[in-house]
Structure 1
Amino acid sequence: MKILIISKALTAATYHRKLELIATEPDVELTAIVPPMWFEPSVGEYPLEVQTPRNYRMHVVPLAHNGHHHTFWWQGLGKLIAAEQPDILHADEEAFNLATFQAFWHARKTQAKLCFYNWADVARRYPPPFSFFERYSYRHAAHAIAGNHLAKQLIRDHGYTGPISVIPQFGVDEAIFTPAPEPLPAKPFVVGFFGRLMRSKGVLDLLAALERLPSDIHCRLIGKGDLSNEVEQRIAKAPLAGRVTLEPLIPSSAMPEAMRSVHAYVLPSRTTPNWKEQFGRVLIEAMACGVPVIGSNSGEIPHVIDTAGLVFPEGDVAALAEAIHKLYLDQDYRQTIAQAGRQRALRHYTQTSIAQQHLAVYRSMR
Structure 2
Amino acid sequence: MRALAISHSASVDEWRGRERALQHLGLDIETLCAQKWTEGGAMVTPHAQPGERVTGVRTVGTHPALFVYDPRPLWRALRRNPDVIDIHEEPFALATAEVLALRWLSGCRAPYVLYTAQNLDKRYPTPFRQLERWALRHASGISACNSEAARIVERKGFPGQARVIPLGIDPSRFTPSPARPPGPTITVGYIGRLVEEKGVLVLVHALALDERLHARMAGGGPLADRVRDEAVRRGVRARVELVGALDPSEVVAFYREIDVLAVPSIPRAGWTEQFGRVAIEAMACGVPVVSSDAGALPEVVGDAGLLVPHGDAAALAYALAHAATGSAQRLRERGIARAAECTWDAVALHYLDLYRSAARVDSADASRPVEIIVVAYGAQDLLRAALEAVETLPVTVVDNSSSAEIRALCEDRGAVYIDPGRNAGFAAGVNIGLRHRQRPGADVLLLNPDAVVSPSQIHDLQAALHADPRLASIAPEQKDRAGRAARVEWPFPSPVNAWLEAVGLGRFEGGGSFVIGSVLLLRAEALAHVGGFDEHFFLYAEETDWAYRARRLGWRHAVASGVWAVHEGGATSTDSRSREARFHASQERYFRKHFGARGWQVARSAVWVGSMVRAALLRGERRDEARRRAALYRLGPIRVEARIAPRA
Q: Which residue of 2 aligns with 1:123?
A: 121
Q: Distance in 2 between matches of 1:80 and 1:202?
A: 45
* Residue matched to 1:256: 252
Deviation of 1:365 after TM superposition, in Å, equals 1.1
**Pairwise CA distance, 1:17:** 1.9
CA deviations over 1:249-279 (Å, ceiling 9, x no partner): 2232332221111100010111111111111
Deviation at 1:182, TM superposition (A): 6.0
Q: Deviations over 1:192-243 (max 9, x none)?
A: 11011111111111111112111x4211111112312212333456622221
CA displacement at 1:101 relative to structure 2: 1.0
Determine if contact 1:20/1:54 at 8 Å carries over to the other structure: no
In the alignment, structure 2 segments of 5+ residues that lack a partner are 360-648
CA contact (8 A) 2:203 2:316 kept: yes
Unaligned runs of 5+ in 1: none
The match for 2:344 is 351
1:160 equivalent in structure 2: 158
* Alignment-derived partner of residue 274 in structure 1: 270
User: Identity of aligned pairs, percent?
Assistant: 32
Distance 1:185 1:83, change over 3 A: farther
CA contact 1:294–1:309 (8 Å) conserved in 2:
yes
Matched, 1:365 2:358: yes
Q: CA deviation at 1:184?
A: 5.3
Deviation digits for residues 94-136 of structure 1 (CA, Å, limit 9, x no counterpart) = 1111111111221233112101101111122111111121022
Distance 1:181 1:337 in 2: 14
Residue 288 in structure 1 maps to residue 258 in structure 2: no
Instruction: Report the equivalent of 1:335.
Output: 329
Q: Secondary structure of 2:158's match?
A: coil
Q: 1:324 aligns with which of 305, 315, 320?
A: 320
Distance 1:340 1:356 in 2: 22
SS in 2 for 1:242: helix
1:61-210 alignment, distance < 5 Å = 61-66=57-62, 68-76=63-71, 77-108=73-104, 109-168=107-166, 170-181=167-178, 183=180, 186-210=183-207
CA gap of 1:307–1:182, structure 2 versus 1, over 3 A, is closer
Aligned-partner Cα distance in 2 for 1:55–1:232: 47
SS in structure 2 of the partner of residue 110 of structure 1: coil
The code of the aligned residue for 1:334 comes to A
Q: Is the 8 A contact 1:184 1:261 kept in 2?
A: no
Give the conservation status (yes or no) of the 8 Å contact 2:170–2:344: yes
**Higher RCO (CA < 8 A, seq sep 6+):** 1
- State the number of aligned residues: 356
Equivalent-residue separation in structure 1 for 2:336 and 2:321 (angstroms): 21
Letter of the 1:15 partner, please give it. Answer: W
Give SS of 1:206's match.
Answer: helix
Any idea what SS the aligned residue of 1:116 has? strand
Spell out, residue by residue over 1:153-196, the C-alpha distance to the aligned partner (whole angstroms, 9 max, x if none): 1112212212411112x312222111224635624321111011
Change (3 A) 1:78 1:350: closer
Select between 263-272 and 222-231 the one with higher mean Cα deviation. Answer: 222-231
1:30-77 CA-partner distances (Å, limit 9, x unpaired): 11112233236xx633412x51323330101121111x1211111135
Residue type of the alignment partner of 2:64? H
Change (3 A) 1:177 1:52: same
**Is the 1:38–1:46 contact (alpha carbons within 8 Å) kept by the matching residues of 2?**
yes
- TM-score, structure 1 length as denominator? 0.92
User: What is the TM-score normalised by the length of structure 2?
Assistant: 0.53
Structure number with larger C-alpha Rg: 2
Q: Quote the residue 2:2 is aligned against.
A: 2
Q: Which has the higher helix share?
A: 2
Aligned to 2:15: 15
Provide the C-alpha distance between the structure 1 equivalents of 2:43 and 2:310, rounded to a whole number of angstroms: 29
Structure 1 CA distance for aligned equivalents of residues 304 and 179 of structure 2: 22
Q: Distance in 2 between matches of 1:8 and 1:74?
A: 9
- Choose from 225, 241, 245 the match for 2:241: 245
Q: Indicate conservation of the 8 Å contact 2:136/2:156, yes or no.
A: no
Residue identity matched to 1:195: G
8 A contact 1:81–1:106 mirrored in 2: no
Aligned-partner SS, 1:126:
coil
Instruction: Note the C-alpha offset of 1:297.
Output: 0.7
Contact 1:119 1:148 in 2 (8 A): yes
3-state DSSP of counterpart to 2:327: helix
Equivalent pair of 2:19/2:348 in contact (CA under 8 Å): yes
Match of 1:30 in 2: 29
